Amino acid sequence: MRTQVAIIGAGPSGLLLGQLLYKAGIDNIIIERQSAEYVLARIRAGVLEQVTTDLLDECGVSKRLHQQGLVHDGIELLFKGARHRIDMRTLTGGKTVTVYGQTEVTHDLMDARKAEGLTTIYDAGDSVTLHDFEGTRPKVRYVKDGQAQEIECDFIAGCDGYHGVSRASVPAGALRTYEKVYPFGWLGILADVPPVSHELIYANTERGFALCSMRSATRSRFYVQVPSNEKAEDWSDEAFWNELRARLDPQAREHLVTGPSLEKSIAPLRSFVAEPMRFGRLLLAGDAAHIVPPTGAKGLNLAASDVKYLSSALIEHYRDISSAGIDHYSERCLRRVWKAERFSWWFTSLMHKFPETGDFGQRLQEAELDYLVGSKAASTVLAENYVGLPL
């Protein structure tokens, strides 16, 4: 087979890139190691910045997003038993975020790709290998239904996540990585119960962090901070609800509706960056190149901004016969990535209980939060970062 761009990974970043390239008349094939059902079964976050919703608009896949997405003007910070609202719309000159599950984004992009008859190869398994991307004729090889297959292309886009083959294919010594692993995770539960509040509640408590989020007006997602060695199966639904209730303010406890969990899991927290993000004609995007803790809701949005830079660079290559966008791709992405890493690290450090925090550290966190909600300048910094910095 022959295509212009081979995209590794059929998650939201790979599908979004494929749709943007298709709209620009650039042929592409997506290769995914898992089944479509497996990809859709992944439970992920869903707070979308404006840059992400704009890209979905550009792809023509935002109808359900605008029908079902929940536009949020602010967030609430809970500390010392009381909630304080950050009015993002006012502080940022009208910017908001939209709550719409990543699973729904993936579903919409899959449906659009299928409707256009575009090629997506699922169930490629661990057979996918990347070749010759340091030259001008890269190749992707894989085995499907027992038959060896090869795709020749102009570029390979590595959108296959942290554990994917793309970054692992980079020659030893060509990549530098930076990583911070946090000593805790998020125990999350998905349930068909109404949200506690119409906006997200981020809680800093002496028992640890908690987050009240939602997927819709009838489905909610809740998290509590737990040690990194905890296991989800050791937590009953009742134990989870009791712990969450203990970390909320009286009003939130009163409005908390509990129910059986649809899904329960623990997400480890880490910060990770791989530099650079381009190796000849292999270009990394999204989790293949960087991971952020979920506190700042930046994971999917960072992937979307990578895809924006990458799609623009590829369109410039084919339309204008210019390599400028490709040449500067890594630099442009990493400038935004490190700002998001900084914000996610700061917000995580502010809201969570660390083993070394102690009473003194807890009081320092509370003092910083008190300053944050009382200072327009400090609140603006939080709001600007949360809704997303300009591209």
Query: Looking at residue 45, what is its pLDDT?
Result: 73
**Active site residues per annotation:** 72, 202, 294, 298, 386
Measured CA angle at 124 (ends 121, 125), to 5 deg: 150
Q: What phi and psi values does residue 199 have, to the nearest 5 degrees?
A: -130, 160
Query: Looking at residue 218, what is its pLDDT?
Result: 93
Does any domain span residue 304?
Answer: yes
Q: Is it the case that residue 115 has pLDDT exceeding 80?
A: yes
The conformational region for residue 9 under phi > 0 = left, psi -120 to 50 = alpha, else beta, is left
Does any domain span residue 352?
Answer: no
Query: Looking at residue 297, what is its pLDDT?
Result: 93
Average pLDDT over every residue of 95-107? 94
- Do residues 123 and 35 make contact, with C-beta atoms less than 8 angstroms apart? yes
Q: What is the band of 118 on the pLDDT scale with cuts at 50, 70, 90?
A: very high
Q: Please state, in angstroms and rounded to a whole number, the distance separating the CA atoms of residues 374 and 380.
A: 11
The domain containing residue 300 runs over which residues? Answer: 5-43+102-179+270-347
Average pLDDT over every residue of 329-354? 97
Burial (0-12, 13-18, 19+ Cβ within 10 Å), 286: buried
DSSP string, 348-359: HHHHSPPTT-HH
DSSP string, 28-46: EEEE-SS-HHHHHH-----
Q: Please state, in angstroms and rounded to a whole number, the distance separating the CA atoms of residues 116 and 381.
A: 42
Query: Looking at residue 46, what is its pLDDT?
Result: 85
Other beta carbons within 10 Å of 231 = 9
Does any domain span residue 323?
Answer: yes
Q: What phi and psi values does residue 31 have, to the nearest 5 degrees?
A: -120, 125
Q: Which two tokens stand for residue 288?
A: 């293949």
Q: Is it the case that residue 182 has pLDDT exceeding 80?
A: yes
Query: Looking at residue 145, what is its pLDDT?
Result: 87
pTM summary value: 0.94
SS3 201: strand
Q: Is it the case that residue 263 has pLDDT exceeding 80?
A: yes
Does any domain span residue 126?
Answer: yes
Other beta carbons within 10 Å of 157 = 31
Q: Is it the case that residue 44 has pLDDT exceeding 90?
A: no
Q: What is the band of 131 on the pLDDT scale with cuts at 50, 70, 90?
A: very high
Does any domain span residue 337?
Answer: yes
Domains in the chain, number: 1
Q: Is it the case that residue 114 has pLDDT exceeding 90?
A: yes
Query: Looking at residue 91, what is its pLDDT?
Result: 98
| CATH number for position 295 | 3.50.50.60
pLDDT digits (tens, 9 = 90+) for 8-32: 999 999 999 999 999 999 999 999 9
- Do residues 118 and 22 make contact, with C-beta atoms less than 8 angstroms apart? yes
Does any domain span residue 83?
Answer: no
Q: Please state, in angstroms and rounded to a whole number, the distance separating the CA atoms of residues 52 and 249.
A: 32
pLDDT digits (tens, 9 = 90+) for 52-65: 999 999 999 999 99
